Amino acid sequence: MKFKYLIIAFSILIIIIIFITVFIPLLIAGPEFAANFRFVILPLLIFLVLVLFGMSIFFLLNYRLLSLLEREDWPALAYYLENQVYVKGRYSSRNVRILASSYLVISDYQSVLKLESKTQAANPSAVNANVLIFGAAKILCGKFDEAASFYKIHTNKCKKKDRQWVRWFFGFSQLLTGSFAAAEPEFSSLSVTSNDSLITGISAYFLHNSLEKKSSNPEKCRQVAENGKSRVISAVKDHGGWIKETQKMGTDVHVAIIRKYVDETGKWLFNITE
């Protein structure tokens, strides 16, 4: 098991550092070093021992979770975390995130919605920390109106780093419900203000390919889409740069469910035809 070997290797490394830190100077400096040992080396030695002890405790406490994650045994992982969350009441953000992700991998979307409901009652902050995962489950279930309401409610409750994505998915949910007038302002705003090339690009893509023909002001919609397109091209340079940008978030669940649109956006940005 990789995690087992990792902790063993780390422990050996710490022991080697301790040996080099303590015994080599002692052999070289002799009595002078021994006299200053407690003032110079002892604090560092204590720190290294505590680090080693802490890593060992962390590994032992999380051994089952880490081993299941490494094996990618999602049903077993879900079963294990159900016991941690539902039975033991450990509704931590981490447990909730991994359990929800496990359900999504095995396409058990209803269980994600159940988890959201119970987490909202037990630890609302864990829902706020995992808005993108719970919202993704609603979209995958086809509950687009519910997803739009969920994203809107949590726009200012989610983690700051997720806020632009939550706004984007609010617009996407509105698009899926056919509420084009509600989707256009979100995509327009993100297309010209987002500091994330991925969000800017797919916002501009939907403005150009889905919303322009539905817009009350198609000319303005087209201009905003072109503005967003120019911003992305300026940032990522070429299609290879776009692919690198998408790979940075390739393992995120919310990106995985829109992968088709991400790929189509890249082709649209750089005029790639197959």
The mean pLDDT value for 93-120 works out to 96
Residues 6 or more apart whose CB falls under 8 angstroms from that of 93 comprise: 123, 125, 126, 129, 130
What DSSP assignment string belongs to 26-50?
A: HHHHTHHHHHTHHHHTHHHHHHHHH
Record the tokens describing residue 217, joined without a space. Answer: 């002001």
Give the model's pLDDT for residue 58: 73
Give the model's pLDDT for residue 210: 95
The mean pLDDT value for 34-58 works out to 69
Alpha carbon distances (Å) from 120 to 9, 115, 126:
40, 8, 8
The mean pLDDT value for 4-19 works out to 66
Q: What is the dihedral of CA 156, 161, 167, 170, to 10 degrees?
A: -90
CA distance 31 to 207: 76
Alpha carbon distances (Å) from 123 to 29, 150, 245:
57, 17, 33
Count of CB atoms within 10 A of residue 209's CB? 14
Q: Please report, rounded to a whole number, the percentage of residues in the chain having pLDDT higher than 70.
A: 84
The radius of gyration computed from the CA coordinates of the chain, to the nearest angstrom, equals: 25
Q: What is the dihedral of CA 13, 18, 20, 23, to 10 degrees?
A: -150
Give the model's pLDDT for residue 23: 62
Of 18-32, 36-50, 151-165, 227-241, give the lowest mean pLDDT range: 18-32
Give the model's pLDDT for residue 39: 62
pLDDT for residue 212 is more than 80: yes
Task: Grade residue 4 by pLDDT with cuts at 50, 70 and 90.
Answer: low
> Domain locations in the chain?
1-61, 72-129, 144-274
Quote the mean pLDDT of the chain.
Answer: 88
| Cα 226-230-232 angle, rounded to 5 deg | 120
Record the tokens describing residue 45, joined without a space. Answer: 């030695």
Do residues 147 and 118 make contact, with C-beta atoms less than 8 angstroms apart?
Answer: no
Greater model confidence, 154 or 52: 154
pLDDT for residue 45 is more than 90: no
pLDDT for residue 14 is more than 80: no
Task: Grade residue 5 by pLDDT with cuts at 50, 70 and 90.
Answer: low
Alpha helices (H) along the chain: 2-29, 31-35, 37-40, 42-61, 63-71, 74-82, 93-105, 109-122, 124-128, 131-140, 144-154, 163-177, 180-193, 197-206, 218-236, 239-247, 253-256, 259-269
Length of the chain measured in residues: 274
pLDDT for residue 202 is more than 80: yes
